[in-house]
Amino acid sequence: MALHITRANEGESVDRSAAEIFEGGSVHGRTLVQPGASEHLSGSVVQFAPGARTRMHRHTSDQLLYVVSGIGKVGDHDGEHVISNGDAILIPAGEDHWHGAGDTTSPMSHLTIMRADSQTTVL
């Protein structure tokens, strides 16, 4: 497999708001690792409008979130945490969680990186 560069002006930001996993507002995503480009990793940038977030869900692999702009929240059954630009969140496989802009009144964008074969269950 050869080196692959995705330029900033390549790819499309797609409205994902209607997906089962999202609630509360507009959510757009841009795939960074195209399906089949890596047998190990998937990655995308997800943009949450104020109020938008994921529903509680879990993945079959670890998930790394890296906040690239704005203020958001991440939570689990034990509570929630405010997150902002530069914060990294490691969510273990099987951990019930949610994330997004939530009620912060700020939009938030994060990178998400997981195993290419990870499966998501919305609770």
- Residue 34: the pLDDT is 84
Q: Is the pTM of this model over 0.85?
A: yes
Q: Please, which pLDDT band fits residue 110 given cuts at 50, 70 and 90?
A: very high
- Residue 43: the pLDDT is 96
Cβ–Cβ under 8 Å, residues 107 and 83: no
3 pLDDT above the threshold of 90: no
The ranges assigned to domains in the chain are: 26-122
- The superfamily in CATH containing domain 26-122 is Jelly Rolls (2.60.120.10)
Q: What CA–CA distance (Å, rounded) separates 110 from 122?
A: 19
- Residue 1: the pLDDT is 62
- Residue 4: the pLDDT is 82
Task: Find the angle CA(37)-CA(95)-CA(97) to the nearest 5 degrees.
Answer: 90
Mean pLDDT of the chain: 95
